[in-house]
């Protein structure tokens, strides 16, 4: 099976987010929410691959942790993480375990309507924007 590079996964996540925006305009709210969620998952997978095995300075790792917890706490309302952030420490292996735990969690029951779909799409865009900046600082391409 062919494995996509982290760059291709990042491009795929942007494509899925744009698809979600079009579906939202067309009133396909459940599909918009699904594609936005998949866009976030694909983006996080690309981040894991981009950073795995890299040496990250402690300050950069702290910044990355802050952005992950901040943006994903906002996402918590849709995904139901409840307390995943409390006992985590800032080191590489736990960072990846944490991100993989997020990817393995289920979407859960979401009341998908026009308002929620728009919020999900905005939130995924915000996650992309904030984490892109931090990841670029931690490990420039």
Phi, psi values for residue 63, rounded to 5°: -60, -45
Residue 86 covered by a domain: yes
- The structural domain count of the chain equals 1
Q: What letters, b where the CB count within 10 A reaches 16 and e where it falls short, cover 123-140?
A: bbbebbebbeebbeebbe
* pLDDT computed for residue 90 by the predictor: 37
Domain assignment present for 27: yes
Q: Is residue 17 part of a domain?
A: yes
The string of pLDDT tens digits covering residues 66-105 is: 556 555 554 444 444 333 333 333 334 454 555 555 544 4
Euclidean distance between CA atoms 136 and 132, whole angstroms: 6
Asked if the structure places residue 95 within a domain, the reply is: yes
CATH number at residue 93: 1.20.120
Q: What is the pLDDT of residues 100-123, one digit of tens each?
A: 555 444 333 334 445 555 666 666
Whether 120 is in a domain gets the answer yes
The rounded distance, in Å, linking the Cα atoms of 54 and 56 is 6
> Higher confidence at residue 49 or residue 137?
49
Q: What spatial distance separates the first Cα and last Cα of the chain, rounded to whole Å?
A: 26
- Print the domain residue range for 125: 6-138
Is the pTM above the cut of 0.85?
A: no
Distance of CA 119 to the CA centre of its chain: 15
Residue 12 is assigned to a structural domain of this protein:
yes
> Is 1 a member of any domain?
no
């Amino acid at each position: 099976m062919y494995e996509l590079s982290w760059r291709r996964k990042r491009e795929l996540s942007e494509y899925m987010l744009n698809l979600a925006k079009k579906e939202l305009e067309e009133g396909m709210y459940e599909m918009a929410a699904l594609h936005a969620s998949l866009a976030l998952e694909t983006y996080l997978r690309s981040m894991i691959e981009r950073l795995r095995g890299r040496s990250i300075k402690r300050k950069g790792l702290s910044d990355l942790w802050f952005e992950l917890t901040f943006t994903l706490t906002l996402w918590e309302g849709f995904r139901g993480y409840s307390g995943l952030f409390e006992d985590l420490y800032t080191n590489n292996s736990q960072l990846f375990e944490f991100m993989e735990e997020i990817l393995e969690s289920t979407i859960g029951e979401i009341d998908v309507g026009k308002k929620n779909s728009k919020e999900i799409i905005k939130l995924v865009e915000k996650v992309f924007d904030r984490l892109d900046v931090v990841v670029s600082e931690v490990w420039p391409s």
